[in-house]
Structure 1
Amino acid sequence: MTEHITTVAGVAVDTRHWIGGERVASVRTFTDVSPIDGSTLGEIARGGATEAEAAVAAARTAFPGWAATPRTERARLLRAIADGVDKRLEDLAIVETHDNGALLRSHRRGVMPRVAHNFRFFADWLLRLEHEDFTTRGHTNHVSWDAAGPSVLITPWNAPLMLATWKIAPALAAGNTVVLKPAEWTPLTASLIADIAAEAGLPAGVLNVVQGYGAEAGSALVSHPDVRRISFTGSVPTARRIAGAAAANLVPASFELGGKSPLLVFADADLDLAVDLAVEQYDNAGQVCLAASRVLVEAPVAEEFTRRLVEQTARLRQGDPREEATDIGPNIHPRQLEKIDGFVRRALAAGARALVGGTPHEKLGGLYYRPTLLTGVAQDSEIVQEEVFGPVLTLQTFTDEEEAVHLANDTRFGLAATVATGDRERAARVTARLVAGTVWVNCFFVRDLQAPFGGSRQSGVGREGGTWSFDFYCDIKNTVSAPKGWKGHG
């Protein structure tokens, strides 16, 4: 038993898969490494076609019973999982910080409480999910949400447990069974949530966790003919491959993909607020899909805005994410650091200028990249058009609303946008023209689970949140009843 347990800062984590209510080992393993210092966190079971088949079979077997479970009981179990998250919040925060390098203070105060909220929210929403009956020529129409079947959920490494449970909770609430494939760079809290769900009383096979690489475990899962829903958060190229596999079996798929979101700062904006919004984009070392990495500033205030942004960025404290005073931790993996540095080096070679940063952190070494602000970039340049997914912002200027909207929309993405302005009418005009799934005005990252979430263009397909999640994870049925033909008094 102990050979399959790794200990992370005193927290024991099982490194095996969770399939059909049991721990399952694999012949092969992969090494999980902490981005903080390069230390080995554990040897993780490396699943493939065999484990994928077993997990889907377990989900298929458990599905009829779970789908038939009354809504009130499903909701009770979701709340019990949330209670379990609350009890192990510190363990989850510590393990997640070691596994993905994000700030421990953020995991404690925001991320892990949000994990518990994901389960409670969808438990509550399930109990009030309904559509008012309506009549057609005297016939009654009744809309219902029927569980669809086994669902495959593939999640990223930048916010592993929060984004996993954002999918798990509505899928389970809908009556579906789940196979989760966490990112191979951050598998540990997915194992812990399986333990928490089992302790809460979730029946065997309702939630399964298969660890491994996308080309092995992930590919086998998304191409399985018994899967009825696929939800994926990650890159555009991977989404294309998953879409092909889903199309072969006509399986509905939801994709939340990359972003290259703009922050539009108008001359009438509160500049202190606008600078704060820009600095927020360095959160999680820039590894946030929603980050407004393209800062667009109206020319009359560009010089003053830039001066304040440079000063405030230079004050950010970079270092060990376990320390309370740290503002920015490491990036996730050597490959990601090389990617970030490559983007910046090519931009500088093409004529960009680094007002702050522009290199890996010389003193910290490892996977720490200095928060970077680039100016002198062309709209059609790689650094403006492609997602870096690191602590790198570009700054451009505009002369009027028309140019601002043009620059904001001039990428292949459309995930989010942020607007800073003191004019309500301008805010209404501009937001109406922005191509984005979410637009924030004079704020950033305010998220409510009842709101639709997703991207436009190559930032994604579909919307989730509130009833939109149930619309995706369910087969929606309309039952039409005639006013005649009934016998008796029932």
Structure 2
Amino acid sequence: MADKITVAGVSVDTRHWVGGQRVASVDTFTDTSPIDGSALGEIARGGPAEAQAAVAAARAAFPSWAATPRAERARLLHAIADGVEKRIEELAIVETTDNGALLRSHRRGVMPRVAHNFRFFADWLLTLEHEDFETRGHSNHVSWDPAGPCVLITPWNAPLMLATWKVAPALAAGNTVILKPAEWSPLTASLLADIAAEAGLPAGVLNVVQGYGAEIGDALTSHPDVRRISFTGSVPTAKRIAASAAANLTPLSLELGGKSPLLVFADANLELAVDLAVEQYDNAGQVCLAGTRLLVEDSVAEEFTRRFVAKAGALRQGDPRDEATDIGPNIHPRQLEKIDGFVQRAIAEGARTVIGGHRRDGQFYAPTLLTDVAQDSEVVQEEVFGPVLTLQTFADEEEGVRLANDTRFGLAATLATGDPERAERVTAQLVAGTVWVNCFFVRDLQAPFGGSRLSGVGREGGTWSFDFYCDLKNTVTAPKGFKDHG
């Protein structure tokens, strides 16, 4: 196996990063590009031995890193952000090649957000405090103590952004990290290891191990020295991780799937509502937050559909490296097969295809809108994770809310209305971790993020991230009892 491969002119190390060193494995797996199906290279495929080594390195580095003053930890996180910003173009082209998302989005939004993740949590760390309070004359002081080695398992749809959303607060909190990227998009995690090392992060504080969940993931999540596990991905995988972690009572943060509604009321700005709906095809529909269930009030449904078809029809699907492309490929042939399976079963059950409903050459799936779908049908109730939307109508506010909440998920919801009182009334009833009113995908790192029901466990963001990645301590001190040192 070659130690390094060249991807779009960028050198990427294919080995793990453990204890400040590159570590090879006997076995490998092939990483392919969804753009054209070409093999990018053979990647080190870790197992229990690599998991053990990574946890041991993180455990060894933990005492020193936990004792590092906040200001120094913050400085190093800012140095990592500097390194990211210097390599935005390289990171963008490698990630586009690896996972098929739009290059223009990586350049202008995603990679700058990666740097911001580090800067935000570095700065938040320096302001993290709870005002002291008294209990019958005794003082109470709340502190956030580093928890220990953290296993962070990240998805393939936004690899580096979602990885650093976890890595940055975990490191800021004084923990050491074992990052396990998705096997379908591992490359930018390897580049992050290089950037962190160049920034001066001590050996063992950040470790990156690659491989399959059943081989290395289980060994990491069941390890007794791991003190936190954060996972973004599917519900079935989360259940396996939770079962694995249960023996050690390792705390979990789980950000899982969604089947989010996009509610359009008759009083909404219809042009805005259509724009919001078409935006749900972003990243070829591979967005957990996407409002894939369009719920439109009866009286405007026909006009909404007409405008939607026209707007969606103007989307350009093709090579994600082309600035003019709006929708790129889906990540993997298996994912494409899954998407098409959902659509074809829905059609067989009586769903009507308004647009799309078929594959295109390569790993592309046509943007699809299905109507005449039953509320209890698979395509309405289960996450497709592709460019597939359903459209249902409702007669009044009560029915709209009922349909919106009628799934096992509760990650997000989007609401289009021109009535602020209705917005307040409806959002209060929606089961979701995030609700957007007349907007979509506006996320501030100081806000809590997570899902309800099967969409997840816990919240991260701002102080909530530190609450998860730390052991909170309350110190109660009596007003008397100290010797007089005067």
What range is the shorter-chain TM-score in? Answer: over 0.9
User: CA separation in 1, counterparts of 2:9 and 2:387?
Assistant: 31
Counterpart residue identity of residue 95, structure 2 = E
Aligned to 1:465: 461
How far is 1:489 from its partner?
4.8
Matches within 5 A, 1:18-417: 18-361=17-360, 365-417=361-413
**Would you say the 8 A contact 2:125–2:173 is kept in 1?**
yes
Deviations 1:382-421 (A, max 9, x none): 0000000000000000000100000000000000000000
User: CA separation in 2, counterparts of 1:307 and 1:113?
Assistant: 36
**Would you say the 8 A contact 2:103–2:322 is kept in 1?**
yes
Deviations 1:148-183 (A, max 9, x none): 000000000000000000000000000000000000
User: CA separation in 1, counterparts of 2:37 and 2:454?
Assistant: 33
**Would you say the 8 A contact 2:7–2:40 is kept in 1?**
yes
Deviations 1:357-383 (A, max 9, x none): 00012xxx1100000000100000000
User: CA separation in 2, counterparts of 1:123 and 1:278?
Assistant: 35
User: CA separation in 2, counterparts of 1:444 and 1:294?
Assistant: 14
Counterpart of 1:204 in 2: which secondary structure?
Answer: coil
**Would you say the 8 A contact 2:99–2:185 is kept in 1?**
yes
User: CA separation in 1, counterparts of 2:11 and 2:414?
Assistant: 41
User: CA separation in 2, counterparts of 1:314 and 1:11?
Assistant: 35
Aligned length: 486
User: CA separation in 1, counterparts of 2:484 and 2:68?
Assistant: 30
Counterpart residue identity of residue 320, structure 2 = P
Select 2:451's aligned residue among 448, 452, 455.
Answer: 455
Counterpart residue identity of residue 156, structure 1 = P
How far is 1:487 from its partner?
2.2
User: CA separation in 2, counterparts of 1:131 and 1:192?
Assistant: 36
Select 1:436's aligned residue among 414, 432, 455.
Answer: 432
Counterpart of 1:7 in 2: which secondary structure?
Answer: strand
How far is 1:245 from its partner?
1.2
Counterpart of 2:43 in 1: which secondary structure?
Answer: strand
Counterpart residue identity of residue 480, structure 2 = K
**Would you say the 8 A contact 2:449–2:459 is kept in 1?**
yes
Counterpart of 1:281 in 2: which secondary structure?
Answer: helix
Counterpart residue identity of residue 445, structure 2 = L
User: CA separation in 2, counterparts of 1:329 and 1:489?
Assistant: 71
Q: CA RMSD in A?
A: 0.7
User: CA separation in 2, counterparts of 1:250 and 1:356?
Assistant: 48
User: CA separation in 2, counterparts of 1:234 and 1:215?
Assistant: 14
Counterpart of 2:254 in 1: which secondary structure?
Answer: strand
Aligned to 1:446: 442
How far is 1:3 from its partner?
2.3
Counterpart residue identity of residue 456, structure 1 = S
Counterpart of 1:203 in 2: which secondary structure?
Answer: coil
Counterpart of 2:291 in 1: which secondary structure?
Answer: coil
Counterpart residue identity of residue 113, structure 1 = P
Instruction: For structure 2, list consecutive stretches of 5 or more residues without a partner in the other structure.
Output: none
User: CA separation in 1, counterparts of 2:428 and 2:9?
Assistant: 51
Between the aligned residues of both structures, percent identity stands at: 83
Aligned to 1:488: 484
User: CA separation in 2, counterparts of 1:245 and 1:351?
Assistant: 41
**Would you say the 8 A contact 2:2–2:14 is kept in 1?**
no
User: CA separation in 2, counterparts of 1:444 and 1:487?
Assistant: 59
User: CA separation in 2, counterparts of 1:119 and 1:98?
Assistant: 24
TM-score w.r.t. the length of structure 2 is 0.99
User: CA separation in 1, counterparts of 2:193 and 2:128?
Assistant: 26
Counterpart residue identity of residue 217, structure 1 = I
**Would you say the 8 A contact 2:102–2:283 is kept in 1?**
yes
User: CA separation in 2, counterparts of 1:177 and 1:291?
Assistant: 32
Counterpart of 1:185 in 2: which secondary structure?
Answer: coil
**Would you say the 8 A contact 2:121–2:168 is kept in 1?**
yes
User: CA separation in 2, counterparts of 1:83 and 1:398?
Assistant: 50
**Would you say the 8 A contact 2:2–2:42 is kept in 1?**
no
User: CA separation in 1, counterparts of 2:287 and 2:162?
Assistant: 12
